[in-house]
Every structure is written in C-alpha cells, then in structure tokens.
Structure 1
C-alpha cells in the first residue's frame, strides 16, 4: 500500500497499521538513505523510533550524515524483516536536525530495542559519560509504502515510474 497524502493520514497509518507496528517494535535498524555532500547516495543503519508524528534518531554531531542531511534534507529509509515472507516499510520524508546537549532520551529509547534490557544500564552509563552533545534528526514522512506479501505487494513498475503516487 503506497501513500502520498497529507501528513495526518500518514501519521494515522503509522500509528495504526499492524505491519508497521510490528516493524516499529522489532530490533531492526532503519536503513537510512541520504545524499552525500558529493552528490552520491549513502545508506547507513541507525537505531530509531517513531514519536507519534515523526521518525527520530540521534547521532554524534560530528557524523558525516549530519552535514549531508542538513544540506540535502530529502531522505528515504526501509525497515524490513529478513525472514520469509518479509514485512517491509519504505518511507520517504524530509529531515530536520536539532543539536541537543548530552544524550537525547530518544536515542536511549531507540537503542533499547537493539541493546536489550540486560545491557542497557551499562550502555547508557558509558554513552552518557562519553557524550557532550548529539544531533537529533527527525524525519517528517511524506510517503509510506507497506508490503506484507499477503495483502499488500510492492507496486508494479508502471506505478514506480510515475512522478507522484504510490511506490
């Protein structure tokens, strides 16, 4: 199912769709795509969360992606399972960068799924001891496609070739 509609409809979809909810709760990183300062595409995994309105992640202020996303705020990402049959969420959106002192709570919460409760206390202690500031990056979704290969499939090539719409 592809959605290129107003923000409130996308927010409703992300907040209520069972496939998306499953992916948001899983320890799967966002595979973030962005345009580098040299004009070439990059893809990196990041721990993220959905705050009810936007997808959010934090990274060191010195990270290359902070400068690149500031220069080119149009991004995309995929969150998907690796088992058969995969669940897939593909998102396009506009990113914004905010510098925060210390470790943003969003980073702690996003990392919890990957680190796990058992190692979280020590991970957080070390992270806070070694971090003075971080860039909090929020992605305002402008397009969401969900595939479960049971009821929703990737759109056909004709749809993907359009300049707007699903895909």
Structure 2
C-alpha cells in the first residue's frame, strides 16, 4: 500500500492526475474569505500544462478574496469506487481581461461540447472576465488502489 507522503509536482504527470485534469469533473477551489473563514466553490477549469485556470466575472466574490488571500487548495475527484482524487495546494493570481479568456472557452468546450460552448460564450458577449491562474506548489494523488490517504496506512 502506498500513501500520499509523496507530494511532488511530478505527480501532475501521474496517469490518475492526467485523467482528472482533462475530465469533465468540476474542480473545487478552497480559499480564505475576508474574515479568515474557509470557502469552497465548484468551478470549470482548464489545465494548460502548468496551471489550473478558471474564468469568472470580475465582480464574483471569490475574485477579491483571492486577491487578498491567494493561497488555495484544489480538488478534482471522481465519486465512483475506486475513488480517484487529485489534491493541489498552490497560489492564485487574478488578472482581469477585457473579454472571455481562451482558457474559459477551452473549458466550456470540454464541459459542454463545441456547439453548446460556442452558444454559451457568444451569450457572454464582450464582457470582461477575471482569469484565476492557480500555480501548483504541492500535489497529491489518491486512487484507492495503489495510493491511499495516510490515515489508512497500516
């Protein structure tokens, strides 16, 4: 049995991680609210090979919170047994763009398919978009076959 004691960035190349990074599962981003309490939000995402990128309206509450507290945790997981889980800790950088970002378009295409995504993005028009780029600093993979949470280590 292998536990999650290995948390290197090379785990992003693990087949389980690679499968989850291109899946249609939402990422769940945990961040710190203005009052210091935790928040978690499910989001569409795009993996660009080095960062998890999220698009959102600039007025979304998480934007200002991430600008104040950029440390985040992200999980992408499958709910069917044996569970597959990618856990990422890192920091978020927020930039505001004049229009929908290319990563948001790529995420929409993956989640909705090309035709539905084109309609969805067209409906957004030329509205500005906040780009949240999460840079991994620590990675863990659980697959409940060869890698288990450390609490299950005997």
TM over 0.5: yes
- How many pairs are equivalent? 150
SS at match of 2:148: coil
Counterpart CA distance in 2 for 1:118 and 1:154 is 40
1:156 Cα deviation (Å)?
Answer: 2.5
Kept in 1, the 8 Å contact 2:22–2:47? The answer is no
| Structure 1: runs of 5+ lacking an equivalent | 159-167
The equivalent residue for 1:124 is 121
**Partner of 2:145 in structure 1?**
150
Pair 1:59-2:56 in alignment: yes
Divergent runs of 4+, >3 A: 1-5
Give structure 2 stretches of 5+ with no counterpart. Answer: none
Cα RMSD (Å) of the superposition? Answer: 1.7
Q: Does 1:139 align with 2:134?
A: yes
- What is the TM-score when the length of structure 2 is the normalising length? 0.90
CA distance in 1, matches of 2:107, 2:43: 9
2:44 to 20, 44, 47: 47
**Where does residue 11 of structure 2 map in the other structure?**
13
Distance of 1:107 and 1:141 partners within structure 2: 19
- CA distance in 1 between counterparts of 2:90 and 2:104 reads 20
Provide TM-score, normalisation by structure 1: 0.83
The answer on whether the counterparts of 1:32 and 1:44 sit within 8 Å (CA) in structure 2 is yes
Quick check: 2:11–2:141 contact (8 Å CA) kept in 1?
no
